[in-house]
């Protein structure tokens, strides 16, 4: 019997992986702002990058790398819209580091923060030259990559194959706001000692990403820097691909929900369970229309069971749908069923109670076909405006 078990250690859980986070003085209050992840043997690297056409310098640099054993990460500055100089800054920083630590092979860099400002290269180099590559402080690394995050995000699993051999997968991530169906301003670093090829890993990553990070939305914008990296060093000498996918999905689903729960100004995590669409693609369109609708999000914040906005958003999404086949429930409270409005004082009270929870589901059955999709969204309150009205200062 194979098994899956939650463990501590995050990106340092798998054999041969090390990490730390330090302060380079990029954040004003001396908080950690630069981190590394290191493997003592070379890793296969799979990655998913932002779909934003203005992708940042670190992404242009990372696209060319398929094997590596080191990732340098900084917060507070995205190194985006910085032209050729932005890429040269990365080379300068990483060359200096490799000069000090000759074991580094094809080091990667990843950045998040303000767009359009050159990296404070000297500060980053000074901090990075002091890295202890034998350090295993995944918590410090997870804190260093935070921007508007209210809490750090990490997780790890040990996966035991039928034959008794086991491998580990661990991750840290950042993201709060700008998390959109197209995977925005989020960074996720996954390490594993599974023995898996880059190609197998890439296929599984893309498949799982579609159901997890790409199903999570805070505000519908996409960023210049979004990245998911998996580094696999093979040190466990084993893998079970089905189990690997199961473990990766558990990790990425957990982190996707954590990002939505930490959405800028969010007070609720809402799961949109869409069924009965013409096909899965149309179900996805509906799920993301709902999770991105400002009118739906403000109604969630107000705990107002205004199912009319749900119906209007479905209608606005352009998919095949009609009044007479549509059904809407909030958890187990039915509000509208196949064209019949069930809303009365009793239903309103019950639906309001559902909405007072920190987390609940909205079920929409379009009654047209067999398409389904699940998406994660949050509400939008005053704090979203406060956080974003003057982000740079």
Nearer Cβ to a second copy (198/353): 353
- Near a second copy in 283-322, by CB under 8 A: 292-295, 298-299, 301-302, 304, 306-309, 311-322
Give me the 146-185 binding string for a second copy, x by CB under 8 A, dash otherwise: --------------------------------x---x-x-
Catalytic residue (one of 112, 147, 185, 222): 185
Nearer Cβ to a second copy (144/347): 347
Q: Please, what's the b/e burial string for 189-210 (b: 16 or more CB within 10 A of its CB; e: otherwise)?
A: bbbbbbbbebebbbebbeebbe
State the minimum distance, in angstroms, from the CB of residue 179 to a second copy: 12
121-128 vs 83-100: helix crossing angle, rounded to 10: 20
- Near a second copy in 351-390, by CB under 8 A: 380-382, 384-386, 388-390
State the minimum distance, in angstroms, from the CB of residue 23 to a second copy: 24
Give me the 101-140 binding string for a second copy, x by CB under 8 A, dash otherwise: -------------xxxx-----------------------
State the minimum distance, in angstroms, from the CB of residue 148 to a second copy: 12
Tokens of 220: 């519908």
User: Does residue 185 have an active-site annotation?
Assistant: yes
Nearer Cβ to a second copy (215/335): 335
- Residue 214 vs residues 210, 221, 286, 305: alpha-carbon distances, Å: 5, 12, 14, 26
Could you tell me which stretch among 139-147, 164-172, 239-247, 333-341 binds a second copy (CB under 8 A)?
333-341
State the minimum distance, in angstroms, from the CB of residue 320 to a second copy: 8
State the minimum distance, in angstroms, from the CB of residue 145 to a second copy: 19
- Near a second copy in 44-83, by CB under 8 A: 51-55, 78, 80-83
294-301 vs 280-292: helix crossing angle, rounded to 10: 60
307-316 vs 280-292: helix crossing angle, rounded to 10: 130
Give me the 200-219 binding string for a second copy, x by CB under 8 A, dash otherwise: -------------------x
Nearer Cβ to a second copy (170/175): 175
Nearer Cβ to a second copy (83/164): 83
Nearer Cβ to a second copy (247/265): 265
State the minimum distance, in angstroms, from the CB of residue 28 to a second copy: 17
With CB under 8 A, what is the number of residues at the site for a second copy? Answer: 68
State the minimum distance, in angstroms, from the CB of residue 16 to a second copy: 36
Q: Which residues are catalytic?
A: 185
The binding site for a second copy (CB under 8 A) comprises 51-55, 78, 80-83, 114-117, 178, 182, 184, 219-224, 292-295, 298-299, 301-302, 304, 306-309, 311-324, 326, 336, 339-341, 343, 380-382, 384-386, 388-393
């Amino acid at each position: 019997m194979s098994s899956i078990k939650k463990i501590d250690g995050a990106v340092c859980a798998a054999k041969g992986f090390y990490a730390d986070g330090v302060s380079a003085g990029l954040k004003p209050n001396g908080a950690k702002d630069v981190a590394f992840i290191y493997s003592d043997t070379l890793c296969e690297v799979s990655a998913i990058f932002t779909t934003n056409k203005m992708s940042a310098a670190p992404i242009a640099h990372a696209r060319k790398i398929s094997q590596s054993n080191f990732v340098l990460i900084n917060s507070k500055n995205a190194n985006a819209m910085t032209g050729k100089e932005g890429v040269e800054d990365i080379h300068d920083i990483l060359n200096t580091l490799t000069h000090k630590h000759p074991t580094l092979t094809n080091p990667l860099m990843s950045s998040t923060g303000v767009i359009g400002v050159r990296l404070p290269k000297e500060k980053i180099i000074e901090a990075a030259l002091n890295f202890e590559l034998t350090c295993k402080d995944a918590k410090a690394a997870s804190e260093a990559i935070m921007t508007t995050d209210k809490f750090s995000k990490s997780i790890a699993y040990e996966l035991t194959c039928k034959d008794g051999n086991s491998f580990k997968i661990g991750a840290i991530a950042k993201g709060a706001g700008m998390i959109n169906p197209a995977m925005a301003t989020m960074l996720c670093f996954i390490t594993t000692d599974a023995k898996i090829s880059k190609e197998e890993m890439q296929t599984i990553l893309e498949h799982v990403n579609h159901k997890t990070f790409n199903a999570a939305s805070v505000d519908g914008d996409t960023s210049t820097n979004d990245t998911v990296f998996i580094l696999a060093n093979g040190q466990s000498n084993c893998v079970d691909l089905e189990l690997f996918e199961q473990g990766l999905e558990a990790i990425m689903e957990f982190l996707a929900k954590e990002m939505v729960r930490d959405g800028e100004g969010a007070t609720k995590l809402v799961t949109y369970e869409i069924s009965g669409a013409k096909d899965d693609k149309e179900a996805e369109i509906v799920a993301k229309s709902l999770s991105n609708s400002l009118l739906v999000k403000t109604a969630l914040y107000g705990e107002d069971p205004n199912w009319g906005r749900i119906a209007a958003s479905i209608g606005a999404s352009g998919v095949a749908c009609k009044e007479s086949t549509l059904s809407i429930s909030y958890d187990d409270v039915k509000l509208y069923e196949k064209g019949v409005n069930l809303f009365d004082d009793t239903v309103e009270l019950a639906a309001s109670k559902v909405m007072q929870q920190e987390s609940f589901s909205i079920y929409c059955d379009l009654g047209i076909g067999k398409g389904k999709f699940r998406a994660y969204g949050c509400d939008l309150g005053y704090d979203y405006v406060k956080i974003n009205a003057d982000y740079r200062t």
